[in-house]
Amino acid sequence: MSGIQFKGYAIHDKKKWSDLKPVEIQPKKWEETDIDIAITHCGSRHEIIGKAVRVGSIAAEKTGFKVGDRVGVGAHIWSCGECQACKTDNENYCPKGLDTYNSPYPDGIISQGGFSTAIRADHRFAFPIPEKLKSEHAASMLCAGLTVFSPLVRNGCGPGKKVGIVGLGGLGHYGVMFAKALGAEVYVLSHSPNKEADAKKLGADHFIVTSDKVAVINSAKIDVTEGYPLKDFLPLLFVNGVFVNVGIPDSPLPQIGPFDIVANGVHLAGSLIGSKKEAIQMLQLAADKGIEPWIELMPMSKVKEAVEGMKEGKPKYRYVLVQDFVPTDGSGFH
């Protein structure tokens, strides 16, 4: 037993979505495939970095993890391990997979995410963190970073390819850095000319204001925005170019006509986070290339301020919360 306390922040009323209060967390039943992680940093509720405080015998055998190791957990925390997706390094597409937050385990326990002191994770969804990466930098890579890295590598991003990133926000800024690190020529498309300086600092070769006339590009276009004019973007792709949607806005995708996709043989695709294999590859690339995301650090006790700021688009470009839980005589959180 690790003796770790499982405490976290949660809402008690859906209408008061940012009014997070301290709660006791009931972790899933312990299995020898599990790892208990004391959380030190967390990005968007499911971008978790911490230290292993308990490692199951099977988890240790399969991963080599030991108590004290720095590990990360992203947006997925469990999959069936038996389906075709799981057996082909596509476990992020497992139809029975569980998210790291608000998903019911078979025993009825609900996963609670990373705004907490600790998390119990299946070893298959715990990632080793390279020594060169700072915890605050690695945290937001585990969802935001992986969400753009996976479609880049799956679509052959590399030298000689052109990649367009639509929107320069939390995901988009990762798209620029990873596409450039993989060797591509990078275009950023934004409705805001004020983002040009940031785009160039992040490594973009070109910046296009979407109201301007634009040139044809090739390879993967990573969308990260809501309400984008899809019909206007598709003609920018070269023959058989790929448009990959990674954003999940509340509104439906913009309507397009048949000719919008047949005129240049464009491929429309979607992507959901990424696999563990890709996460490890991404983290190593970041360590090797010295990739550092643009983040703002906040103590976890200010989680209310953080989630409200995220909704308003305030961070530049990601918030990372730093653990500041202090055990007391029962009051729990400071």
pLDDT tens figures, 41-96: 999 889 999 999 999 999 999 999 999 999 999 999 999 999 999 999 999 999 99
Predicted confidence at residue 230, as pLDDT, reads 84
Assess contact for 111 and 105: CB atoms under 8 A.
yes
| Cα–Cα dist 53/100, whole Å | 19
Predicted confidence at residue 252, as pLDDT, reads 83
Confidence band for 241, pLDDT divided at 50, 70 and 90: very high
Q: What is the mean pLDDT of residues 130-148?
A: 97
Beta bridge partners of 23: 8
CA dihedral of 208, 212, 197, 202, whole degrees rounded to 10: -10
Predicted confidence at residue 329, as pLDDT, reads 36
User: Euclidean distance between the first and final Cα of the chain, in Å?
Assistant: 26
Q: Which domains does the chain have, with CATH numbers?
A: 7-143+275-322 (3.90.180.10), 144-270 (3.40.50.720)
| pLDDT exceeds cutoff 50 at 330 | no
| pLDDT higher at 326 or 241 | 241
| Cα–Cα dist 173/96, whole Å | 31
Predicted confidence at residue 99, as pLDDT, reads 97
| Cα–Cα dist 89/71, whole Å | 20
Predicted confidence at residue 210, as pLDDT, reads 84
Predicted confidence at residue 106, as pLDDT, reads 87
Copy the structure tokens of residue 47.
């971008």
Contacts of residue 213, defined as CB under 8 A and 6 or more positions apart, other chains included, come to none
Instruction: Tell if the pTM clears 0.85, that is, is over it.
Output: yes
| pLDDT exceeds cutoff 80 at 219 | no
Alpha helices in 144-294 (DSSP H): 144-154, 170-181, 196-202, 230-233, 259-262, 276-289
Q: 170-210: per-residue pLDDT in tens?
A: 999 999 999 999 999 999 999 889 999 999 999 999 999 98
Confidence band for 306, pLDDT divided at 50, 70 and 90: very high
Copy the structure tokens of residue 94.
């497992």
Give, in order, the Cα–Cα distances in Å from 270 to each of 130, 151, 225: 29, 8, 14
Q: 7-35: per-residue pLDDT in tens?
A: 999 998 889 999 999 999 999 999 999 99
Assess contact for 72 and 170: CB atoms under 8 A.
no
Residue from 24, 71, 79 nearest 273 by CA: 79
Copy the structure tokens of residue 50.
């911490």
Q: 292-301: per-residue pLDDT in tens?
A: 999 999 999 9
Predicted confidence at residue 278, as pLDDT, reads 98
Contacts of residue 148, defined as CB under 8 A and 6 or more positions apart, other chains included, come to 171, 172, 174, 175, 178, 222, 224, 246
Longest alpha-carbon distance in the chain? 68
Predicted confidence at residue 213, as pLDDT, reads 52
| pLDDT exceeds cutoff 90 at 163 | yes
Copy the structure tokens of residue 100.
């790291």
